A and B are shown apart, each in its own frame.
Chain A
């Protein structure tokens, strides 16, 4: 595709359920990032993948959050035992390398009831 895509666009779940969010980066982009944006707030870094290197997971808020990426392809962000404070838009971005422009996907709006 021409840009970063994410699915689903919206997800409503009940507290305690697990959710999986997907990101398809721009083809050829080695760097992939996940961010969380709560309503009216800034972007909060969650995790960074660069090729086959070990990811930087320093932004993950708790052990309920995990993410995977196979090579330079799609990535999934999993939130286990969701809580109401997990409600936010989860944005994925990719770039051709570090220190280059990050292109954002449209985001997944997660609502935890």
Chain B
């Protein structure tokens, strides 16, 4: 079945720096890759997603890149702010498209 690996598990940056989180997946049939942000005690919320027909997508300070050949995708946050501090999860669907398999999460801390 699908397996999603996420690195690093923790990431500390200074305000204004960039942050990069990387994920790899195992099922070559996967075609949808969302990123979720979860603040402490709150529900996960989608921040950006990418489908397999594009290699990059941007939304203001957030971007996601996808390399289908290498089966990895990355989240890039530029000009980080303290409110970016949260746990970020990447995910990929299993081959049947029924189960969204999540990475173990990255705890991002942005200090001012």
Contact = CB atoms under 8 A, between A and B. Distances in A.
Interface of A: 33, 35, 41-45, 48, 50, 56, 58-59, 91, 98-99, 101-107
Contact of B43 (A41, A50, A101, A107): A107
B44 A43 contact: yes
A41 B104 contact: yes
Contacts of B98: 48, 50, 56, 58, 98
B104 A101 contact: no
Contact of A105 (B31, B43, B93): B43
A105 B43 CA distance: 7
B73 interface: no
Contact of A42 (B1, B32, B43, B89): B89
A103 B100 CA distance: 13
Main secondary structure of the interface of A (DSSP, over half): loop
27 contacts: A41-B104, A41-B105, A42-B89, A42-B102, A42-B105, A43-B44, A43-B89, A43-B91, A45-B99, A45-B100, A45-B101, A48-B99, A56-B99, A58-B1, A58-B98, A59-B99, A91-B44, A98-B97, A98-B98, A99-B51, A99-B93, A102-B34, A102-B100, A103-B46, A104-B43, A106-B42, A107-B43
Interface residues of B, number: 24
B43 A58 contact: no
A101 to B, nearest CB: 5
Nearest to A99: B32
Contacts of B46: 101-103
A99 B99 contact: no
